[in-house]
Every structure is written in C-alpha cells, then in structure tokens.
Amino acid sequence: MITKTTPTRGQVGQASRAGTLALVGGELAFNFTNTTSGRGGARHLEHLGRPEDLAVWAHHAKIIGKKSARDLQRRFGDSPGLAGELQHRALELRDVVYAIGATLAAGKPTRSEDVDRLTGIHAQCVRVGHLRKIQGLYGWTWNIETYPVEAILGPIVLSALSIVCQADLSRIKQCPGRDCGWLFFDITKNKNRRWCEMEVCGNRAKQHRLRKRRRPR
Ligand SMILES: [Zn+2]
C-alpha cells in the first residue's frame, strides 16, 4: 500500500540531510540558518551535527565544488583541529545570522551585540580573502587550501550583510510552521509569501485545520 504523506525533514536520530535540504531561503545566509529546525523544542532537528555535514552542505549550497568538499572531508581525518574549528565557527555564524534574521522578521530592532559579532566574523573572513574579477564581475574569493574555514564562511557572511543592508527589511520572514522556524527573503511582488515551503509547512497547517474541523463535538 502506498501512503501519501507530507514530506518531512528527517526524524530525530536519522542521518543528516545536509546534502538534500531544500534551499528556499532566497539568500545563502538564510539557507544556512535553515540547516536546523524546531530550535529549542522537542522536535529540534540538526543537519550539521558533524564537520563532514558542513562540507556536504557547502557543496549542496554551491559554495564549494565537489572535489573541494571531498578534499576537505579527507583533511578532517588528518586534522581534527581543523574539523573542530570549522564546526565551531560555522555554528557561531549560524547562531548570529539566525538571531538577526529572526529579530528582523519579527519587526524588532537588532541587538548591537549580534551585529557586532557579524561584522567581526566578516572582518576575519575578508582579511584573508581576495577581491578578484570573475566572469566580468568583482567578487570575494578565498583559497580553500590555505583558508578552508573562511572559504566556506566568507560567502555566507557576505550574504548575511547584504540582507541586513538592503532597503526593504519587511521582506525578511520566518515560517510560522510548527517545529520549523526557517527564515527566508520574500521576493514575491505583493510580499505575501508565508511559508518556507507550501508543500511542507503550508500543507501541514492545512491538514491540522481540517482535522480540527472534522473532530466530533
Ligand atoms: Zn516552515
């Protein structure tokens, strides 16, 4: 029998889905915050539990190529210090981007500590990056061999700054779905996007409403 169910984002204890997560944040930095869901709740899901997951996700999000992701995972074996540093600094960046994004989505002013932390991470990354012309456009690049942590975090922190510095902060939204909390940048004309994914949180909420209505009194 084939049972049709709402797609899920994996269950607690299951293998990481870092390589297949939906990239629906509209901005790289929000896709990064969306590597976990249900923060602080009983159904909290973490897809970046290991440094290897970060390498897999960075390739999935097109920050690094397939070969670089594989080389990086190989380097983790030789250098647990590098793996630990990447994991620690990546989750720190994810926390701060989430704090800023969720605050702006709620229409509140950001805390200066969070913004200072973000600009501090930006400074660390830019210090070892290079501004280069690639395919006619100037952009920041990092040598992944020499600076693997910055090569992954650099593009994310630049994306986060572009979100904070853009004109219309009301396009920053947080999915109201149960156990979700995903952030996204709403680019719809009327700014009426509500869900991270209609097929996931939108349908779940609809089914919940229907079940409530059918419940005998
Ligand atoms: Zn959602």
pLDDT value of residue 205? 83
CA 192 – ligand 1 centroid, Å: 15
CA 34 – ligand 1 centroid, Å: 9
CA 76 – ligand 1 centroid, Å: 32
- Structure tokens given for 112: 């200066």
Average pLDDT, the chain: 91
- C-beta of residue 120 within 8 angstroms of C-beta of residue 126: no
Average pLDDT over residues 95-112: 97
Residue 16 has pLDDT above 90, yes or no: no
Domains, the chain, in order of start with CATH, read 28-214 (1.10.3300.10)
CA 18 – ligand 1 centroid, Å: 17
pLDDT value of residue 211? 84
CA 194 – ligand 1 centroid, Å: 9
CB atoms closer than 10 angstroms to residue 12: 10
pLDDT value of residue 46? 95
- What is the per-residue pLDDT across 44-64, written as a single tens digit (0 to 9) for each? 999 999 999 999 999 999 999
CA 183 – ligand 1 centroid, Å: 8
- What is the per-residue pLDDT across 169-187, written as a single tens digit (0 to 9) for each? 999 999 999 999 999 999 9
Residue 197 has pLDDT above 90, yes or no: yes
Q: Residues with Cβ < 8 Å from 73, sequence gap 6 or more?
A: 52, 55, 56
CA 212 – ligand 1 centroid, Å: 20
- What type of residue sits at position 33? T
Instruction: Identify the H or E element spanning 137.
Output: strand 137-141
